[in-house]
Structure 1
Amino acid sequence: MIFVKATLEQVDTFRSLAIETFIETWRHAYTASDLEQHIATQYTLAQFVEQLQTEQVYLFCDDNDTKATVPFGCCQLKQIGVPGEQNDDIQDYTCWKLYRFYMRANCQGKGIGGEFMRFAEVKLRELGARTVWLTVKNTNEKAQVFYTRFGFVRKPNTAVIKNIGSYPSEEFLFKKDLK
């Protein structure tokens, strides 16, 4: 398996994978119209183009898929300040956010996600990260177990509330210190 740093050439592949995996994961919890509305506002082509230009985006692929045409999964890495603190100069911070760590349903439970997580951690260390943050929906127990297995710790009394359509969505904040 290989890891491909996504470029603008892969924007459609990256966006399609993100939409597909989001819908696969949450179709049981939200109405079709709420999912469509969320995708229309949070998964626009313009947003994905901007993210590819300003963040680290990786696609996880079969060894022969060097152009990342059919990736197994994706993740985004973004340098951030410390959540909840004043962050005037992000260049001085060694905190990063891991998000859109998405894996196709047919690839889950086969060790592929673990290999991808190990790659992401190596990449984060190369980028100078000392701390990694991520959020997980409170109802996504599978993801919470996965991240905990890799040393992420849920921070007490932390939750981010977002709405997906008319449904509130609570997300827990997880942190990992890289050594």
Structure 2
Amino acid sequence: MKDIVHFEPLTQEKYATYITVGTKAYNQHYRHLWPKGDSAPYIQSSFTEEVLLQEEQDTNTLLFLIHHNKKTVGILKISLKKALDSYSREEALYVDKIYIIKEATGKGIGKKVLQFVELRAKELKKRIIWLDTMQKGPALHFYLKNGFKKHSTTEIPFPQAIEEKKPMFIMTKTVSKVSTLR
């Protein structure tokens, strides 16, 4: 069977799936950032029907379910216009969330997600794609391997997170121009 990765735009009928998969994937990878593993502050700010309804109504936000061979394995959230330093809102696309359940990691899905994001950025004539990632862990190595560079530092914006686990990098990738045949 050929590996097929499909991106389904989120609709209200699929909120429960997005919440379930997003929460599961987040907790599988990031529960260690929270005292006693209690990720509730983040989950409540990201994975409720109220939050999703607000995000879905925001024309600057795109939400997707990620499917691999017809199974929902992750979520993707993109902000179409979000400035970074000298890059204007029109020039920069922000990847807010890529969460893939542990059972589906290591199968090339993350790479397909980044290709999908880059294609969208090219269509929108963006100059850069940017995102935040933990300073320690497999995500950093994954982004570096896929052409992202360390830009600057930031930290988890939740006061409840464990202080020494808060450091993050802002990563950027220049969007290559779409080649045209003449």
1:39 aligns with 2:21: no
Equivalent residue for 2:17? 13
Aligned match of 1:150: 146
Contact 2:73/2:101 (<8 A) preserved: yes
Q: Deviations over 1:13-59 (max 9, x none)?
A: 11221111111112234234631233224433211122222211222
Query: What is the TM-score normalised by the length of structure 1?
Result: 0.81
Provide the residue aligned with 2:73 in structure 1: 72
Gaps spanning 5+ residues in structure 1: where? none
User: Percent identity, aligned pairs only?
Assistant: 20
Task: Rate the CA distance shift 1:30–1:102 in 2: closer, same or farther, 3 A.
Answer: same
Distance 1:126 1:86, change over 3 A: closer
* C-alpha distance in 1 between matches for 2:67 and 2:156: 33
| CA gap 1:42/1:119 in 2 versus in 1, 3 angstroms | closer
Task: Give 1:115 deviation, angstroms.
Answer: 1.9
Which secondary structure does the structure 2 equivalent of 1:163 belong to? coil
Deviations 1:133-178 (A, max 9, x none): 1001223x2001111111110114x223423525231221001110
Are the equivalent residues in 1 in contact too, given 2:65–2:72 (CA < 8 A)?
yes
- Shift in Å at residue 103 of structure 1? 0.8
Letter in 2 for 1:119: F
Q: Distance in 2 between matches of 1:10 and 1:19?
A: 14
CA RMSD of aligned residues (A): 2.3
- Closer/same/farther in 2, CA of residues 166 and 81 from structure 1, 3 Å limit: closer
Specify the code of the residue in structure 2 equivalent to 1:112.
Answer: I
Q: Secondary structure at the match of 2:172?
A: strand
1:120 positional shift: 1.9
Per the alignment, in what secondary structure is the counterpart of residue 128 of structure 1? Answer: coil
Q: Distance in 1 between matches of 2:30 and 2:155?
A: 18
